[in-house]
Amino acid sequence: MAAESPIRIGVLGCAEIARKVSRAIHLAPNATVSAVASRSAEKAKAFAAANGYPPTAKIHGSYESLLNDPDVDALYVPLPTSLHVEWAVRAAEKGKHLLLEKPVAMNVAEFDKIIAACESNGIQIMDGTMWVHNPRTQKMKEYLSDPELFGQLKTVHSCFSFAGDEDFLKNDIRVKPGLDGLGALGDAGWYTIRATLLANNYELPKSVTALPGPILNEAGVILSCSAFLHWEDGRTATISCSFLANLTMDITAVGTKGTLHVHDFIIPFQETEASFSTSTKAWFNEGVTGWVNKPSEHKIMTELPQEACMVREFARLVGEIKNRGAKPDGFWPSISRKTQLVIDAVKESIGKNFEPIDLSGR
Amino acid sequence: MAAESPIRIGVLGCAEIARKVSRAIHLAPNATVSAVASRSAEKAKAFAAANGYPPTAKIHGSYESLLNDPDVDALYVPLPTSLHVEWAVRAAEKGKHLLLEKPVAMNVAEFDKIIAACESNGIQIMDGTMWVHNPRTQKMKEYLSDPELFGQLKTVHSCFSFAGDEDFLKNDIRVKPGLDGLGALGDAGWYTIRATLLANNYELPKSVTALPGPILNEAGVILSCSAFLHWEDGRTATISCSFLANLTMDITAVGTKGTLHVHDFIIPFQETEASFSTSTKAWFNEGVTGWVNKPSEHKIMTELPQEACMVREFARLVGEIKNRGAKPDGFWPSISRKTQLVIDAVKESIGKNFEPIDLSGR
């Protein structure tokens, strides 16, 4: 049986993050970059050259032109969030599978339009959250699901902050209301919410409450905020995201029997390996002067960078559809939607003077 | 000049924690155990024997008898919280300096009575929070105060939980309304609040809001709760305390330039050394596939156990008063009071359906 040909991915827009994902497409064994589009052909050409695109990669001077390219199976879409609904829907209607950057939309109503277009057209959609594809994440999930090692989850705390410099805080698309208008919540907060949902086996909280003191820029974009999540059975979580504090990316998950700590969950300290720490049934020694069952470190080698793992998984699903008539996998859009729902609720709670927002039935 | 004689400490009550502090008094170079009291002389005698008390140590069959012992300079008071106000005030009136277990009182009104009695009688009071006396804490404080390495504090998250077993949850004084009636908030929460205040240079927050979902036992004692603290300039903190989750003791403090992590802040993993991790101006590498300025570990050797450091500092202050006519040091009662104020506010917020409690002017 001949090897299947790689999934042909077109890159819709030459954002900074597209450099990293272009490399990931090169690295993924089952995908290839077949085209790139920008609003100008020159920009697309320069981007292709700077990012080692194969000579066969087609250069498109408009997004529309890429959508009509018959030699493209799927698109990677790193456009500003405010443009997602338009271009993702149009792409789905053209039969292109979608690897869509996060946050997936400005709100869940927009994302539901994208999902509807994908469903009508048999399109696979996955968001661009890379860290969940790191093999470490699978190992963390196994620990968190282990009734003996971790027990029942009680609380999660997740934080992602980085200190944007003056230029970032003035000019980055993530601080512009018309572009990535969800600011730190949509960017950094997205990851902390995803981490929280992952630890809760993707069960939505009953309520989400923004915590007082979010910091907004003059245009009303969130630069820093935090929120509290609460599940009916008593599980709790806090998330915290900011463009205004030193780079920090933590998950702390505490269960009845175990504790997990990770301090680089989104981008591991090193590309080739990643670790996390766990303890189980930690307690004090006899004189209460030290611990027994201290935390231990688990190191996982990363053969393929996490973003290449993401592309590989996306291309695998697209291949199943293209080559074997499979249906799109509903898991990925379902967790994108839940993440977006929580983002919407944090924003709504801020707008309602920090009232709890009930997520039942959403 | 002859060496000054050690400060003579009497132990008022034979609680479990008094074993550890008795050892600490033995280890502190400037203190000695001179007496112990229980409600029965037999119990006090057995306690003295089991804990290696010197033959000179006097055995008292009542608390009152110890208060009248002229050969005692100071008392260590590990009584249940509900008894603090009565016995601390009586001890102060008898001229005994006070090392008082935490939480210092059932509420700040009670503690103010203790403070008033101490002030009228020239009494030094310090609470029994051991970890702040660990040399590591001083090093952490230096890092957090460094404008270049840490910058301005933005947020702190502190958590202390441990999984009480069935016996603990049924019988421990910390789950009994008439004894240590503040439950997990007064016990575990005390430390997280102190850590938060320490990181904020002991500045009280403007407001304290309990977070939904505290867990109470049938008698109404808190077994688990969390709260959000907010300062006028935008600093925030979350604290989380529980008797129902695996042993976890974290401080995460994030500033504009630095991040501190510690995972054993109350009782270090090992008695002889303790560490914490910091990063400064952490950022991503060129391809955003790893970090530069990664966190680094700082290890501090602990020559004297932290509780012995506590006794040494307490005895030093008592010695200054006794031998050189110094005035009591107001720092220690001031931070006890602030910690208690925040505890009271968390409780008040729970009682008021999680309304923010304004601490201005308290």
Question: Could you read off the pLDDT tens digit of each residue along chain A, which spans 362 residues?
Answer: 457 899 999 999 998 899 999 999 999 999 999 999 999 999 999 999 999 999 999 999 999 999 999 999 999 999 999 999 999 999 999 999 999 999 999 999 999 999 999 999 999 999 999 999 999 999 999 999 999 999 999 999 999 999 999 999 999 989 998 888 899 999 999 999 999 999 999 999 999 999 999 999 999 999 999 999 999 999 999 999 999 999 999 999 999 999 999 999 999 999 999 999 999 999 999 999 999 999 999 999 999 999 999 999 999 999 999 999 999 999 999 999 999 999 999 999 999 999 999 999 88
| Geometric angle at alpha carbon A54, from A52 and A58, rounded to 5° | 110
**Tally of CB atoms within 10 A around A178:** 12
pLDDT at B202: 98
* Distances, alpha carbon B349 to alpha carbons B71, B183, B226, in Å: 45, 16, 11
In one-letter notation, the amino acid at residue B28 is A
| Interface mutation vs chain A, best among B289, B296, B306, B358, most A CBs within 10 Å | B289
Q: Which residues in B lie closer than 8 A to residue A281 (C-beta atoms)? A: 163, 246
CATH fold label, B131-303+340-358: Dihydrodipicolinate Reductase; domain 2 (3.30.360)
E strand intervals along B61-149: 74-77, 97-100, 125-127
| Position B43 pLDDT exceeds 50 | yes
Catalytic, out of A102, A322, A338, A347: A102
Residue written as token pair 């709890």: A356
Which of B23, B246, B281 minimises the CB distance to A258? B246
Residues in chain B: 362
Nearest chain B residue (CA) to A242: B154
- The pLDDT > 90 percentage for chain B reads 96
User: According to the model, what pLDDT value does residue B35 have?
Assistant: 98
- Considering only CB atoms, which chain A residues are within 8 Å of B242? 154-155, 254
The count of other CB atoms within 10 Å of the CB of residue B4 is 11
Looking at CA atoms only, how far is residue A41 from chain B in angstroms? 24
A98, A12 in Cβ contact below 8 A?
no
Residues of B in contact with A291 (CB under 8 A): 247, 264, 267, 269-270
Mean pLDDT, rounded, for B54-60? 96
Chain A within 8 Å of B255 (Cβ-Cβ)?
yes
From the candidates B43, B58, B94, B102, give the one annotated as an active-site residue: B102
Tell whether the model's pLDDT for residue B362 goes beyond 90. no
Q: Is B296 on the interface with A (CB under 8 A)?
A: no
Hey, which CATH number is domain A7-130+307-330, 3.40.50.920, 3.40.50.720, 3.40.50.1450, 1.10.10.10? 3.40.50.720
Nearest CA in chain A to B216: A234
Tell me the residues of chain B between 24 and 83 that have a Cβ less than 8 Å away from chain A.
none
Closest residue in A to B245 (Cα) is: A256
**How far apart are alpha carbons B34 and B56 in whole angstroms?**
7
Whether A140 and A345 have beta carbons less than 8 Å apart is answered as no
Residue spans of beta strands (DSSP E) within A131-192: 153-163
- Chain B window 202-221: which residues touch A at a Cβ cutoff of 8 Å? 207, 209, 211-213, 215
d(CA B226, CA B215): 10
Q: Which of A236, A250, A256 sits opposite B163 (nearest CB)?
A: A256
Scanning A122-171, the segments in alpha helix (DSSP H) are 135-144, 166-171
pLDDT for the residue numbered B82:
94
Write out pLDDT tens, residues B193-214. 999 999 999 999 999 999 999 9
Pure H helices in B11-107: 16-27, 41-50, 63-67, 84-93
Average pLDDT over chain B, rounded to an integer: 96
* Higher pLDDT pick, A152 / B362: A152
Is A282 an interface residue toward B (CB < 8 Å)? yes
- A163: chain B residues, CB-CB within 8 Å: 256-257, 281
With cut-offs at 50, 70 and 90, classify the pLDDT of residue B2: low
Q: Is the pLDDT of residue B1 over 90?
A: no
Query: Which chain B residues touch A151 with a CB distance below 8 Å?
Result: 246
| CB proximity A280 to B under 8 Å | yes
Give the start-to-end residue ranges of the domains of chain A: 7-130+307-330, 132-305+340-358
User: Which tens digits make up the pLDDT trace of B292-342?
Assistant: 999 999 999 999 999 999 999 999 999 999 999 999 999 999 999 999 999
Residues from chain B that touch A287, judged by Cβ atoms under 8 A, are: 19-20, 23
- Convert the pLDDT of each residue in A287-338 to its tens digit: 999 999 999 999 999 999 999 999 999 999 999 999 999 999 999 999 999 9
CB B85 within 8 A of CB B113: yes
Cβ of residue A162 closer than 8 Å to a chain B Cβ: yes
- CATH number for the domain running over A132-305+340-358: 3.30.360.10
Q: Mutate which of A21, A162, A289, A297 to disrupt the B interface (most B C-beta within 10 Å)?
A: A289
Neighbours of B104 (CB within 10 A): 31
Collapsing DSSP to helix, strand or coil, A10 comes out as strand
Instruction: With cut-offs at 50, 70 and 90, classify the pLDDT of residue B178.
Output: confident
Q: Which of A230, A238, A295 sits opposite B238 (nearest CB)?
A: A238
ipTM computed for the complex = 0.95
The answer to whether B254 contacts A159, with C-beta atoms less than 8 Å apart, is yes
Q: Classify domain B7-130+307-329 at the CATH topology level.
A: Rossmann fold (3.40.50)
Average pLDDT over every residue of B217-226: 96
How would you class A256 by CB atoms within 10 Å of its CB: exposed for 0-12, middle for 13-18, buried for 19 or more? middle
- pLDDT tens string B122-156: 999 999 999 999 999 999 999 999 999 999 999 99
Listed in sequence order, the residues at least 6 apart from A48 whose beta carbon sits closer than 8 Å to its beta carbon are A36, A57, A59
Q: Do B161 and A154 touch (CB under 8 A)?
A: yes
B266 near A CB under 8 A: no
| Strand ranges for B132-271 from DSSP E | 153-163, 207-210, 215-216, 222-230, 236-242, 244-255, 258-262
Residue B4 has pLDDT above 90, yes or no: no
Report yes or no: A143 at the B interface, CB cutoff 8 Å. Answer: no
Residue A357, chain B, CB below 8 Å: the answer is no
Contact with chain A for residue B238, Cβ under 8 A: yes
CA A227 vs CA A332, A345, B225, B243: distances in Å: 24, 10, 16, 23
Q: Which residue of chain B is at minimal alpha-carbon distance from A270?
A: B290
Cβ atoms of A101 and A128 closer than 8 Å = yes
> What are B161-173's pLDDT values in tens digits?
999 999 999 999 8
Interface check A294 vs B, CB under 8 A: yes
Q: Is A102 a catalytic residue?
A: yes
Round to whole Å and give the CA distance between B209 and B99: 30
Contact list in A for residue B184 (CB cut-off 8 A) is none
Q: Is A101 an interface residue toward B (CB < 8 Å)?
A: no
Residue B132 has what DSSP assignment? G
Cβ-based contacts of B308 with chain A (< 8 Å): none
Partner-chain contact A256 B244, CB within 8 Å: yes
* Partner B contacted by A283 (CB < 8 A): yes
pTM score: 0.96
User: Cβ contacts (< 8 Å) between B256 and chain A: which residues?
Assistant: 163, 244-246
